[in-house]
Amino acid sequence: MSGMVDLVEFELNGERYAMDIHLAREIVEMMPITPIPRAPSYITGVINLRGEITSIINVNNLLRITQNDGVENKKIIVLMSDAAGGSNVGIIVDDVHSVIQVSDTDIEQMGEGITSDISNFVKGIIKVGTNGGGKERNLVIWIDMVKVLRDLINQQQI
């Protein structure tokens, strides 16, 4: 029997992405964000989330994904502090679809020949939907959020 993986499925610019569920502390509605002067382009600013200052990262800028400014009800996925090196961090997404459970057999690993910057941060491509009826299955890109954040932390220390 194959293993199962629990993921949070979210949307960025009309495309579907996912991250490990154990990295997500909570999902909150978009709220006013206080910008930080001279911050890198991927840092939108900070919020006060129940008395905790939480840094907000624009994942679109970080992963070089075109941003869809027409989305009205964006969400913030607040990450577990362990995933962000002990910091309070949230990421802005266009929408959160669901928590999905995926079988290992529905996950394709990235090929060695892929040279894109994002391929370093992709755990795999997930095939979701139905197999039967000749219908194409939807694809979800599984982001390795721990690697993304670790890379950010390492860049800041240089």
pLDDT for 120 = 77
Whether 131 has a pLDDT exceeding 60, the answer reads no
Mean pLDDT of 104-109: 87
More confident residue, 102 or 119: 102
Whether 158 has a pLDDT exceeding 50, the answer reads no
Q: Measure Cα distances from 3 to 35, 102, 104, 140, 154 in Å.
A: 42, 8, 6, 18, 32
pTM over 0.95: no
Mean pLDDT of 32-59: 93
Q: Domain holding 56: CATH number?
A: 2.40.50.180
pLDDT for 133 = 54
Whether 135 has a pLDDT exceeding 60, the answer reads no
Whether 156 has a pLDDT exceeding 90, the answer reads no
Mean pLDDT of 109-113: 66
Structural domain containing residue 44: 4-157
Handedness of CA 67, 18, 127, 123 (dihedral sign): positive
Whether 69 has a pLDDT exceeding 90, the answer reads no
Mean pLDDT of 137-146: 88
Whether 23 has a pLDDT exceeding 80, the answer reads yes
**Mean pLDDT over each residue of the chain, to the nearest integer:** 85
Handedness of CA 77, 78, 82, 88 (dihedral sign): positive
Q: How many domains are there within the chain?
A: 1
Whether 1 has a pLDDT exceeding 50, the answer reads no
